[in-house]
Structures are given as structure tokens and as C-alpha cells.
Structure 1
Amino acid sequence: MISLLRGHLREATSGCHGRVDTAFSSFDLATPDGYAAFLAAQAAALIPIEQAIERAGIDAVLPDWKQRTRRMALCRDLENLGIVPPPSVVFVAPDCPAAMLGMAYVLEGSRLGSAVLLRRVLGGPHTILSTTTEYLRHGAGTGLWQSFLVTIEAAGFVASDLVKMTSAAKAVFGAFESAAWLGKSKDANHAENHR
């Protein structure tokens, strides 16, 4: 059963989520170049967002945050592919627990799609890619998504908190969408220059 809070967030951000899915679906995850471009685009958004919510004190509202953070796994995958992570931009730190958890909602929810993406990566002919999937595998089988949902349900948010949570979630989706289109543009330029 979907909780009211989760249902609200899912419905309020469904358009944003769809745009992010569309933007990232254009990466060919079965090829080294396409997968590297995908990871670089993920890093361009994920790294500054994780850093922003850490600056705001996410570990006070999500005590197991250190288990959840994925930027080091992502950087190791990029390094194994010979890619330098993109320079981080500064993402504005959230100003309240509701906004922090709204941002974390997007990051944690993205774990659900990671299994699908992992199958696309592993379904390709390039075995090197199987050694660079720490990011997509991060937290698999640990129940992090379910425990996150328990945390946000127990937070006791009121209507004004939901507005902040939703706004923060939409901002994170927007950052990922922008990173995807920028990454796809760079990937296309790279492919054009190597013909």
C-alpha cells in the first residue's frame, strides 16, 4: 500500500520524473562511451546534491545517511572507466528537514530504477562494464528505500512541510534532467569528433 505522503510526492513529481527518465533513456548503456557519459551525467547532479544535503545536516534527520551516499561508488566506477568526474557545481543547501528529505526522496527513489539500468549495462557485449557497476548496485537488497519511507512517514510533516519537500524534490529532478541533456550533448560531440 502506498502511503499518503509517498503518493503525494509521486504524483506531484511525476512530470519531473518522466522528463528525467526520458533524458537518461537516450544514453546507450551497453557501450563503454554511452555508459561513461551516463555516469558522468549522474555525477554532475548527484555529487553536488549529496554535498548540499550533508552541509544542511541530513544525518540528523536520516541517521544512516553514510550508508546511503553513493558518490564515492560513482566516482570509483568513473575512475575504472578512465573518466574524471565532472567538476561539481554548488547546489543550494536545503533550509529545513522537509527540504532535505524531499531531496533525499529523489536520490533514494532512483535506487528502484538502478536494477533496470544494471540489466541494460550487463546485457551488452562489453564485459569491462560489469566491473564498473558499483553505483548501480549500491544498497541493493538492503532495504534502504523501505527504511527511507518509514523515516519520512514518521517525521510528522504538516502541509507547509509538504510544499517544501515537493519543491526540493522537483529541484533535484531538474538538476538531473539538466545534467542528462548536457551529458548527452557532450556524448554526441565526442562521438562526432571520433568518426
Structure 2
Amino acid sequence: MVDFRLHFLDRQGVVLSVAALTYTDDRTAIAAVLGNHPNRHAELWQEDRRVRVFDRDIGHAHSRLRAATRSMHQALDGQLALATLTERPAYVRYLQTNRPCCGMEEGLEAAGVGVILPDWDRRRRRAALAHDLTILGMPTGPSAPCPLAGDTGSILGWCYVLEGSRLGAQVILQTVETSTDPDVRDATRFLRHGIGQSLWQGFKTVLSQIDDDEVAIMRACSAAEAAFEAFLAGYAAPAA
């Protein structure tokens, strides 16, 4: 057992109070302190080193994944000129840059994602993407192979990026729906996929199962970084 400090913070990161405790790594002591405190965000410190972040709105694995991929997520967002997606060439380019998800889905299926996410059949989107590209007169072709590890952490890391992409697609849909091009408006199955099905909440529930598995979380972070790299490479590739 080691002596630690638990810092309670507001959403701007300002420390509101500090509690001293002995941490046993089974989260029992922390759970007791968190349960009696109104603030939902806390950090565990040992001397001058932050050891862990606790957020009762966001699980530990989710928090680590978000932190590990923050800069890559920002870089990907920086490639997206949202206002231009009402125009056919820009929207076609956007759909093409999402082609890596096809290989990822196939790789996940080969790795056994259906065991971890039993509702996987509701989650895969490559048929929707192919449908939209076909409407816009673009060839789809075979997916680039994406072999990946079959451990739970890695699978959840790849899925974290795909599920986050689905969330972002719903925001993009609001712009694309305003296009004056009827084909663009019709080619939105990919963007609409999963709306109203609570797929993100269901994924977070499964992700929370590795909250206390440091090895699985590290593997998830590595996999999520690889997924973001694949999407960033899609933006770097010349347009078809």
C-alpha cells in the first residue's frame, strides 16, 4: 500500500479539493472517496506524478484512448473542410478517405469481433459506403487488407475509432443534407448508419470491461493509433 492524493477538479481542470488516501490498486478506497464527493472528475497523484484519471462520466479505458489519440484526432479533423462537402467532388473525396474502414471491418471480422461485440452485424458500414460511392459514379474495388491482432484490447481499439467515426458522421450529415446536388443528398447511407440505435453507448459499456486491465488498455491505444494513421494516410493519398 502506498500513500496517494486524490485531486478533485472542475471541468476546466481547476483543483477544488484534495483528499489523502492509501491506494491498494483495487479501487476500493478510491470508489469510497469518489462516491462521497460531488465532483465527477479526479486525478490520483503520488508525490509529483499523476498516476491515473478518474471520470465518472467516462470510463478509464475510454479516457486513456481519448488521451492517446487526441492529437491524431485533431489532425484528422483539420483535414476536413466541412463547408465544402455540399459539393460533389469534395463529398466524393470524403467518402473515398473513409475506404480504410472497409479493410478494418474485414480484419475485425477475421479476428473475432463478433465475440466481443455480439451486435457487430448492426455496426459494420462498408456496404453503406459502397452504396454511396456507387450512386456518385465511383468504383469501389476490393478493400486493402488490414490484418490485426485478435486480443480484446486491440479489437476494442480499432472499434473505438470506427465507432467515433460514426458519431462524427452524424454531424457531417447535417451539412451534406443541404447540398443542391440530389445525388449527394441520396448518397448518405454511410453518414446515416446507426442513427437512433444507441451503438455508441453500447460500445462504451463493452469498452468499460477493460477499465482495470492495463495491458488491454495499452493494446487498445496502440490499435486506435494505427486506425487513425490509416485514415490520415487516406487523406494524404491522391484523389481517385
Counterpart in 2 of 1:65? 120
Q: CA deviation at 1:95?
A: 3.1
Q: CA deviation at 1:158?
A: 1.0
Q: CA deviation at 1:116?
A: 1.4
Counterpart in 2 of 1:94? 149
CA distance in 2, matches of 1:76, 1:26: 21
Counterpart in 1 of 2:92? 36
Q: Deviations over 1:8-58 (max 9, x none)?
A: 111111011111111233783111121111111211x11111111111010
Contact 2:97 2:235 in 1 (8 A): yes
Q: CA deviation at 1:3?
A: 1.8
Counterpart in 2 of 1:154? 209
Counterpart in 2 of 1:193? none
CA distance in 2, matches of 1:34, 1:42: 13
* Amino acid paired to 2:215: S
Q: Is it true that 1:134 corresponds to 2:189 in the alignment?
A: yes
Q: Identity rate of aligned residues, in percent?
A: 33
Contact 2:113 2:155 in 1 (8 A): yes
Pick the structure with more strand per residue: 2
CA distance in 1, matches of 2:196, 2:68: 28
Counterpart in 2 of 1:178? 233
Contact 2:133 2:187 in 1 (8 A): yes
CA distance in 2, matches of 1:149, 1:21: 22
Which sections of structure 1, spanning at least 5 residues, go unmatched? 188-195
CA distance in 2, matches of 1:16, 1:56: 25
| Greater Cα offset, 8-17 or 21-30 | 21-30
CA distance in 2, matches of 1:91, 1:23: 23
CA distance in 2, matches of 1:87, 1:17: 26
Counterpart in 2 of 1:120? 175
CA distance in 1, matches of 2:222, 2:176: 32
Pick the structure with more helix per residue: 1
Q: CA deviation at 1:186?
A: 1.7
Q: CA deviation at 1:101?
A: 0.7
How many matched pairs? 184
Q: Is it true that 1:11 corresponds to 2:64 in the alignment?
A: no
Q: What is the TM-score with the length of structure 1 in the denominator?
A: 0.88
Q: CA deviation at 1:126?
A: 1.5
SS in 2 for 1:28: helix
CA distance in 2, matches of 1:155, 1:9: 12
CA distance in 2, matches of 1:162, 1:59: 19
SS in 2 for 1:29: helix
Contact 1:30 1:121 in 2 (8 A): yes
Q: What is the TM-score with the length of structure 2 in the denominator?
A: 0.72
Q: Deviations over 1:36-81 (max 9, x none)?
A: 11111211x1111111111101001111101000000010111111
| Greater Cα offset, 68-77 or 127-136 | 127-136
